[in-house]
Amino acid sequence: MYRTNTCGELRIGNVGQEVTLAGWVQRSRKMGGMTFVDLRDRYGITQLVFNEETNAELCAQANKLGREYVIQVKGTVNERYAKNEKIPTGDIEIIVSEMTVLNESLVPPFTIETNTDGGDDLRMKYRYLDLRRENVRANLELRHKFCIAVRNFLDSKGFLEIETPVLIGSTPEGARDFIVPSRMNPGQFYALPQSPQTLKQLLMVAGMDRYFQIAKCFRDEDLRADRQPEFTQIDCEMSFVTQNDILNTFEEMAKYLFKEVRHYDLGDTPFIRMPWHEAMRRFGSDKPDMRFGMEFVELKDTLGGTGTFGVFNDAKYIGGICAPGCAHYTRKQLDQLTDFVKSPQIGAKGLVHAKVNEDGTVKSSVDKFYTPEVLEQLKHKMDAKPGDLILIMSGDDAMKTRKQLCELRLEMGERLGLRDRNKFALLWVVDFPMFEWSEEEGRLLAMHHPFTAPRPQDVPLLDTDPASVLADAYDMVCNGVEVGGGSIRIHDAVLQAKIFKVLGFTPERAQEQFGFLMNAFKYGAPPHGGLAYGLDRWVSLFAGLDSIRDCIAFPKNNSGRDVMLDAPSRVDQKQLDELLIDVRPQTK
């Protein structure tokens, strides 16, 4: 037997027991004639003691142990003189009588501790060492618990877990496909699924009724903190349901997961269901962070018009937010905010502010353009109190300006400590537009994916005004993050063909790409719908992480590389020849 106990297990009640432990040397300290070693495994850390007086040879051996050596020790559990309250095993130590070095270790390139000295790149290269760190390991444990809870919940609701293939054809979710050449079919390629969307719909045609899968999805797109080229979805689909059935089922699941995994009670009140247009108007975002207010107030009527401040004169949109208690902001702080909104990522032209003084008077950066009455009106409209700071942005493109104001709202929320990671605010955003116009492609694109059904009442608009059609689609949003989304699907081949037409597919191309689905719909497809949750995002929210990377065992870096495996990489000419592939030299 390698061990009788783990390194996280022994307590005061075990004092006097003979035990055998195995693990890694986290750290060792020599103090006078005593050597102390922290022995670590997945379960915790236990202190080992070697005494020069009682066993000089063993103590000399212990003094030679390096960090991350793998050892096995036999000894007696002893009550510690100086207890360590920070760790669960802190009341005891092991007086070692025998030791075997199971494996030596090179000096690790960074310290294997929660506050490590290793930078991101180094830790990614040696991810197997990084994973030994307690905080990183805890994220994987959380992920595991999350998956188990998902399976338990969905199983209790009659969902079947069904795997779908990874080597398939294109599934349009709005990103580029990763493609895989087929040796047996030279010149032809598989595409990796951007999601199992079409397959889960076929499972509904197949009568599976309720499906789920913890599925890998692959999207070749530019990476950000919350994106990876491959990521995991909790993918679900249900038959004979309306939007209401789906929202109720998955709201219940969200509450269950919060309770079981995060030990957080979301209460009994149903989530708000906010139409997309309203979310954009009130928060400038389709994923509003509802942990705090600071809603947008439209100010065109108050501040727009002629003869006033030049910039506002013919702005199509003027909107403001009221930052409570920020009237004391200094010139420098206000300049910082202006620089923030003018930064290339946000791209606004400027920022106007108005302070409400303690006596209720208003002092604004554009005072001279407005009468005191107008400033008074502004204060009322914003519902601003003495001590508040009103921040105003304007622009010719209302949607764009709202998005910029949204960034400012989030920034102010952050500065005011209103985006508390231990508080959660969830809602559904519903009634998304069906299509969005692409300047680049000169055509309408599906906002969700092309299998999304329009709201039944909007179907006639497909012929007259497709751009205004709303979709039977929904997103679940938590703390300003889209954690899941889905839709009721089209289950009628004729309507599906019509949508493809609006999206600019010729009948031939639609048939070529999605013929299999349209044909399946001809054999009695049930009404169906579903959604997919982003597993990585959920787990990182639960863990309070900034990036999804930290809850993925082996993540990729910002350029989509696995620096540990050094992938992607070149392949042998022989392999390319078999695939009939010529690689062209890279041109700038």
Closest residue by Cα to residue 303 from 376, 405, 409, 396: 376
3-class SS at 415? Answer: helix
Are 369 and 375 in contact by the 8 Å Cβ rule? The answer is: no
- CA–CA separation, 377 vs 379, rounded Å? 5
> Which one of residues 28, 89, 195, 401 is an interface residue with ligand ASP (CB under 6 A)?
195
- Edge-to-edge strand ranges of the sheet holding 389-395: 297-298, 317-323, 389-395, 352-356, 362-364
Any contact of residue 413 with ligand ASP (CB under 6 A)? no
Q: How far is the CB of 142 from ligand ASP (least distance, A)?
A: 23
Any contact of residue 450 with ligand ASP (CB under 6 A)? no
> Which one of residues 486, 510, 513, 514 is an interface residue with ligand ASP (CB under 6 A)?
486
User: How many CB atoms lie under 10 A from the CB of residue 359?
Assistant: 6
> Looking at beta carbons only, is 304 or 485 nearer to ligand ASP?
485
| Beta strand extents in 382-446 (DSSP E only) | 389-395, 426-430, 435-438, 443-446
Q: How far is the CB of 195 from ligand ASP (least distance, A)?
A: 3
* R_g of the chain computed on alpha carbons: 30
Name the residue type at position 73: V
Any contact of residue 130 with ligand ASP (CB under 6 A)? no
Q: What pairing do the DSSP bridges indicate for beta strands 230-239 and 188-191?
A: unpaired
Q: How far is the CB of 197 from ligand ASP (least distance, A)?
A: 4
> Which one of residues 73, 530, 541, 542 is an interface residue with ligand ASP (CB under 6 A)?
530
Give the x-and-dash track for 143-182 against ligand ASP (CB under 6 A): ------------------------------x---------
Closest residue by Cα to residue 484 from 537, 406, 435, 539: 537
- CA–CA separation, 511 vs 82, rounded Å? 75
Any contact of residue 487 with ligand ASP (CB under 6 A)? yes
- Edge-to-edge strand ranges of the sheet holding 272-275: 160-161, 210-218, 230-239, 528-534, 481-488, 473-478, 426-430, 272-275
Q: How far is the CB of 380 from ligand ASP (least distance, A)?
A: 43
First to last CA, the chain: 60
Binding residues for ligand ASP restricted to 291-310, rule: CB under 6 A:
none
Part of the chain binding ligand ASP (CB under 6 A), chosen from 18-26, 178-186, 481-489, 491-499? 481-489
Give the x-and-dash track for 339-378 against ligand ASP (CB under 6 A): ----------------------------------------
> Looking at beta carbons only, is 90 or 530 nearer to ligand ASP?
530
Any contact of residue 203 with ligand ASP (CB under 6 A)? no
Specify the long-range contacts of residues 275-283, CB closer than 8 Å, at least 24 apart.
275/429, 275/430, 275/431, 276/429, 276/430, 276/431, 276/432, 276/433, 276/470, 277/431, 279/429, 280/399, 280/402, 281/402, 283/406, 283/409
Any contact of residue 35 with ligand ASP (CB under 6 A)? no
3-class SS at 567? Answer: strand
DSSP 489: B
- Total of chain residues touching ligand ASP, rule CB under 6 A: 9
* Residue with the two structure tokens 């922290």: 38
> Which one of residues 485, 490, 528, 549 is an interface residue with ligand ASP (CB under 6 A)?
485
Any contact of residue 472 with ligand ASP (CB under 6 A)? no
Any contact of residue 249 with ligand ASP (CB under 6 A)? no
> Looking at beta carbons only, is 448 or 549 nearer to ligand ASP?
448
Any contact of residue 531 with ligand ASP (CB under 6 A)? yes
Part of the chain binding ligand ASP (CB under 6 A), chosen from 249-257, 281-289, 525-533, 542-550? 525-533
Any contact of residue 89 with ligand ASP (CB under 6 A)? no
Q: How far is the CB of 553 from ligand ASP (least distance, A)?
A: 22
Any contact of residue 197 with ligand ASP (CB under 6 A)? yes
Q: How far is the CB of 181 from ligand ASP (least distance, A)?
A: 25
Name the residue type at position 527: P
- CA–CA separation, 39 vs 72, rounded Å? 9
Any contact of residue 193 with ligand ASP (CB under 6 A)? no
> Looking at beta carbons only, is 395 or 530 nearer to ligand ASP?
530
Q: What pairing do the DSSP bridges indicate for beta strands 92-103 and 44-51?
A: parallel
> Looking at beta carbons only, is 175 or 272 nearer to ligand ASP?
175
Part of the chain binding ligand ASP (CB under 6 A), chosen from 27-35, 128-136, 397-405, 480-488? 480-488
The binding site for ligand ASP (CB under 6 A) comprises 173, 195, 197, 485-487, 530-532
